Structure 1
Amino acid sequence: MFRNRGMRSWQIGRKSQKAIRSGLGFGWMFIAALGLVVSGCDLVEDFEVPGPMGPGTLGESGKSGKVVDTSAGNDGGRSRTMTSMRPSDGAQLSMVPARTQQTILIASFNIQAFGVKKVSDPVVVDRIVKILRLFDVVAIQEVRATDQTVLPQLVQMVNSQGAKYDFILGPRLGRTDSKEQYCYVYDTNRILSSPAASYTVNDTADLLHREPLVGRFATRVPAGYPPFTFSLMNIHTDPGEVKQELPVMHTVLHAVREYEWTMAREDDVLMMGDLNAAPSKFGNLAKVPGIYWVISDQPTNTRRTELYDNILFDRGPTNEFMGKAGVLDMATVFGITLEEALKVSDHNPIWAEFSIVEQSSAYSTPGSNAVIANQGVVYPAR
């Protein structure tokens, strides 16, 4: 238990939450709960990160296309600072980097209202498949299908040319009849994942419409090299409740980071997805020590008018980041009209490039149980 003087404590409580992992040809379910007490920041909320359980289900490589590239222009994450770091405001139209033996591409894609209609449209689903094949891991938001065979159908199409993608699918979430699921699609030839280590954050106070889905991953590397291990936190804020949900995002991130360090000694935690907000609206999330977002000033919606989607992490421990990130503009990539691109989604995919090899942190040594305290927040570190 971590307690800071002058801070009120909140509990990652004992209410269990389930997440389902169903593979192509197999499936299983884990239900677990864990009670922890950690320190809060400015708010008193209850978020529970349950013990290991399995969301999800199964998932190729593709050619790159033109994107808006927001390559970072700061210190490359080699020095530890206690202030927020931001990527360079400079951007250019460039290609999604090819996946190499030294790097992986992690992406986020809100496939607006993905369901039977889109998977049944040969033109639309072909474009989605081509996008997924560009990346090693993709965090997907807005899976709306009640038919739970839709994701297996999509991944089978991704694998139709011999690839071996898998997916992890979370439970259906939402306060209304219109529910959504989070999903991870990943290339098993390059990425490993443990279904037992995937879980849905338990929001005991019901502060979020759709609680994040967390998944743990590791790269496949040659013998003798340490794999890059990382945890992804897939999030989609409710567009009608952004003002209520964004102020607690730093608390949710804190809870997940504490849990991931406690349970897996993992300090590379990436929050990614559709936040429905530009960094200027992040509030307390932007004040998290060392926080870094890869998209600074480029629109991420298909109409090119708003910055909604992002990937955030602490660049101190996560110095596997290669400094390259961007927005894949579907209309440009496919040479189609805006109206045609909108049939795929009202969001463009975003991505970031990382080393496949685990890097030692610049500010402490791997495996230590040190903590860094700043601005009233306690975080585990390497």
Structure 2
Amino acid sequence: MGPALLLLLAALLGGAAAFRVGAFNARRLGGGKAAREDVRGALGRIIARCDIMVLQEVVDAKGQVVPLLLDTLDSTVGPGTYQALSSHPLGRGSYRERYVYFYRPGRAQLQDWFVYEDAHPQRPDVFAREPFVARFGLPSPALPELVLVPLHAAPAAAETEIDALHDVYERVQERWGQQDVLFLGDFNAGCGYVAASRWGRIRLRRDPPFHWLLGDDGDSTVRGSTRCPYDRVVVAGERSQSLVVPGSAGAFNFTACFGLTEEQALVVSDHYPVEVELALDRAWGGGWHPPLALLLLLGLGGALLGLP
């Protein structure tokens, strides 16, 4: 097999790779923290695992974090491999946070975005940090578009904020007519912030369109002394649900993967990122089938088509 065919084979196989989306509470991430080589290096490796990664708890009044991390990604992954989209500082009073999307433009095309207007007539000003909603075009006929809704909920209001994500879903449908939505981030969804007896009252948990990919028995915390499923991923939409790679949703233990001590990991964050993979090359409602060109390249296409 010649070099040109090997390159074609690599491209075809690369197209079959699952599409990974993640969210990470980076714990009070400002310019000073991002300037630390150990933190910046770890964040770059975490972001580079995903086609879209949403950072939360970015406290960056001077706008230093995004350029620092893009420089890191340019030098380690490749120039222009990632682009970023940041919200304005969100919150009440003097404490504000940003949501920041890092995404691979070769795999996800940013189409539109908005900050949810937290002015529901029955539930005004629910969110401490309003969701920063983004719509991406994907290179897939099975799932041509996907909307992401990140949330960093205030611990004391976690139940109310998680429930109000149902209102955000309705707003997404009104604005874009889009059913396929991923809700993800630090919901503070456990360890006393949402009592087990209260889950049945939360519309995002109770109503049929929403499928929770991470259970209440999970753990997304770095400290060995805690076990809390704070960070979650919830999917809505038949197409996106059908494309979730089984077993792919979970917390990424960067302590173990990067060979860090707990103390070293806590410098980065006290949370682990949560991730999920979507099989974009799978036909909606069926399993993935290799492209015909790939079958021909491997010498199988002729037999399947009855060719000499």
Q: Kindly indicate whether the alpha-carbon contact (under 8 Å) linking 2:252 and 2:272 is maintained by their aligned counterparts in 1.
A: yes
Task: Give the alignment partner of residue 259 of structure 1, picking from 171, 175, 181.
Answer: 175
Q: Give deviations 1:57-81, integer Å, cap 9, x for gaps.
A: xxxxxxxxxxxxxxxxxxxxxxxxx
> Which protein has the larger Cα radius of gyration, Structure 1 or Structure 2?
2
Task: Give the alignment partner of residue 93 of structure 2, picking from 167, 176, 180.
Answer: 176
Q: Give deviations 1:235-292, integer Å, cap 9, x for gaps.
A: 111123224423423233333234331xxxx221111111001484543321121321
Q: Kindly indicate whether the alpha-carbon contact (under 8 Å) linking 2:184 and 2:234 is maintained by their aligned counterparts in 1.
A: yes
Q: Give deviations 1:64-122, integer Å, cap 9, x for gaps.
A: xxxxxxxxxxxxxxxxxxxxxxxxxxxxxxxxxx9863421111111111111221111
The one-letter code of the counterpart of 1:155 is L
Give the C-alpha shift of residue 357 in structure 1.
4.1
Instruction: Measure the CA separation in 1 of the matches of 2:21 and 2:265.
Output: 22
Paired residues for 1:100-179 under 5 Å: 101-161=16-76, 162-163=78-79, 164-179=81-96
Give the C-alpha shift of residue 192 in structure 1.
1.3
Give the C-alpha shift of residue 359 in structure 1.
4.9
Greater shift in the superposed pair: 238-247 or 344-353: 238-247
Give the C-alpha shift of residue 168 in structure 1.
0.9
Paired residues for 1:14-33 under 5 Å: none
The one-letter code of the counterpart of 2:260 is I
Give the C-alpha shift of residue 361 in structure 1.
6.3
1:310 aligns with 2:221: no
The one-letter code of the counterpart of 1:268 is D
Give the C-alpha shift of residue 226 in structure 1.
5.6
1:295 aligns with 2:214: yes
Instruction: Measure the CA separation in 2 of the matches of 1:322 and 1:203.
Output: 33
1:273 aligns with 2:192: no
The one-letter code of the counterpart of 2:219 is P
1:167 counterpart SS class: strand
Instruction: Measure the CA separation in 2 of the matches of 1:247 and 1:137.
Output: 25
Structure-1 residue corresponding to 2:154: 238
The one-letter code of the counterpart of 2:158 is V
Taking a change above 3 Å as real, the CA distance of residues 284 and 187 of structure 1, as seen in their structure-2 partners, is same
Paired residues for 1:12-91 under 5 Å: none
Task: Give the alignment partner of residue 249 of structure 1, picking from 150, 165, 168.
Answer: 165
**TM-score scaled by structure 2?**
0.76
Structure-2 residue corresponding to 1:185: 102
1:285 aligns with 2:204: yes
Q: Kindly indicate whether the alpha-carbon contact (under 8 Å) linking 1:139 and 1:234 is maintained by their aligned counterparts in 2.
A: yes
2:249 counterpart SS class: strand
Give the C-alpha shift of residue 218 in structure 1.
2.0
Taking a change above 3 Å as real, the CA distance of residues 358 and 180 of structure 1, as seen in their structure-2 partners, is farther
Structure-1 residue corresponding to 2:276: 352
Q: Kindly indicate whether the alpha-carbon contact (under 8 Å) linking 2:20 and 2:278 is maintained by their aligned counterparts in 1.
A: yes
Structure-1 residue corresponding to 2:3: none
Runs of 5+ in structure 1 lacking a partner? Answer: 1-97, 363-382
Q: Count matched residues.
A: 256
Instruction: Measure the CA separation in 1 of the matches of 2:214 and 2:32.
Output: 30
Q: Kindly indicate whether the alpha-carbon contact (under 8 Å) linking 2:31 and 2:63 is maintained by their aligned counterparts in 1.
A: no
Structure number with the bigger relative contact order (C-alpha 8 A, sep ≥ 6) is: 1
Instruction: Measure the CA separation in 2 of the matches of 1:253 and 1:272.
Output: 13
Instruction: Measure the CA separation in 1 of the matches of 2:89 and 2:282.
Output: 33
Instruction: Measure the CA separation in 1 of the matches of 2:130 and 2:85.
Output: 15
Q: Give deviations 1:134-193, integer Å, cap 9, x for gaps.
A: 110011111101011321221121111324100111111111211001111111122211
Which has a greater percent of helix? 2
